[in-house]
Amino acid sequence: MSETVNILLVGAGEINFGSVEGPWNHTLRLEQILGPRLRVVALIDLDASRATAALDAKLASPAAPAYADCKVFPTVTEAARSPLSQTPHIAIVGAPPFARGTDIPGRDLELQLVEAFPRCALFVEKPVSSGPEDAAWRVADVLEKSGTLVGVGYMLRYLKAVQVMKKIISENGLVVMGTNARYVMAYEWARKPAWWDKTRSGGPIIEQATHFCDLSRYFGGDVHLPSVVAHTVQPNEAPGQLSAKRFDEDPIPPENRLPRLTSATWKYRGGAVGTLTHVIALHGNTYDTEFEVYADGYRFKLVDPYGTPKLCIRRPGAAEEEVHVFKEDDPFRTELETFVDVVEERGSRDRVLSSYEDAIKTYELTWAIRRASETAAASYA
């Protein structure tokens, strides 16, 4: 590895450049991690005006030297045809899921990148795709055969609180009995019509609750997919009426609108049971999220993993739970810093906590929940 770390950015949107709506901002973390070693050699986005605006903002910032040689391209093919200032070491794939995760032409970013830059590691956002699960497995096979290092952005695995839970379970030889995930969304500021259309966004489980489905699998293991059962509150039902929407939902066909509540249960292959409740209900912009793990003698409860995580632990023989608060823990930075270290061969690939294959299993679970809930909803009609 050279003194610089050469980055190719795919996507000029909020995943790579941030927004007021959320904490995603991969370029900011890379600037913090690498400092003067960072070199962004290319930015790929079909929207030339958006890409140029994003680059211009960086060139006007203190991080400008890292972007001085960056070129903007509409496609991976165009980038591969042009001589870049340096060969990229890492591609940060922040394009929308409809553009990746398959072997379908035009929706195969990973395959394009492997062909164009065969020595480049890939850091891919979640979910891995919005296309067929079997196509994602075919992509995984190509990535495996090419020896490409791939990490997927399930950043909650890197939380200090999550790793404390993992350590206690391992040190005490515990066998997980069950997981319980609860995600209550504040929807008032969710004003993008595409998000509310499940044919475009994938729906609230595939697009949003995917992090909690992944965290569930991280502790519970592989899921017996035929065991998934799910029920929903639909938008046309009395409990599904929302009073604080700030956009017009009428243009979205009724059958494409998001369920307001999804409740799912499943059986892990190791014997444990998992549950998930996702609700679109709260006003304002403060979410309410909790995740629990149960084992003999223990209960772990992770509160507010997206904000200031708090871990509550009930141990054997304890009348009261112990509470740990983790301030200023940035899992986005931790996951990217870990990935960069592994690319630079400063650690085993096992340090990448979410592999591409493992992320597909999470993707399969989210689809199983959506399909089970739609089947159940159709039976009520």
Please write the tens of the pLDDT for every residue from 198-228: 999 999 999 999 999 999 999 999 999 999 9
Is the residue at 285 inside a domain? yes
Using one digit for the tens of pLDDT, what is the confidence trace for 128-184?
999 999 999 999 999 999 999 999 999 999 999 999 999 999 999 999 999 999 999
* Same domain flag for 183 and 141: no
Higher pLDDT: 79 or 1? It is: 79
- 40 bridge partner residues: 7
* Same domain flag for 98 and 229: no
Is the residue at 160 inside a domain? yes
* pLDDT averaged over every residue in the chain: 96
Instruction: Place 23 in a pLDDT band, splitting at 50, 70 and 90.
Output: confident
Is the residue at 335 inside a domain? no
354: closest CA among 363, 367, 344? 363
Q: What is the domain count for the chain?
A: 2
Domain stops at, among 120, 148, 176: 148
pLDDT at 2: 60
> Where does 223-297 show beta strands of DSSP type E?
223-233, 261-268, 273-282, 288-295
Residue 1: pLDDT over 60: no
* Same domain flag for 203 and 89: no
Q: Is this structure's pTM higher than 0.75? A: yes
* Same domain flag for 142 and 265: no
Domain stops at, among 112, 131, 148: 148
CB 280 within 8 A of CB 242: yes
- Name residue, tokens 């206690």: 168
Residue 21: pLDDT over 70: no
For residue 123, report the phi and psi dihedrals to the nearest 5 degrees: -110, 115
* Same domain flag for 200 and 317: yes
* Same domain flag for 68 and 129: yes
* Same domain flag for 133 and 68: yes
Identify the CATH number of the domain in which residue 19 sits. Answer: 3.40.50.720
Residue 278: pLDDT over 90: yes
Domain that holds residue 364: 156-329+355-380
* Same domain flag for 249 and 363: yes
Is the residue at 230 inside a domain? yes
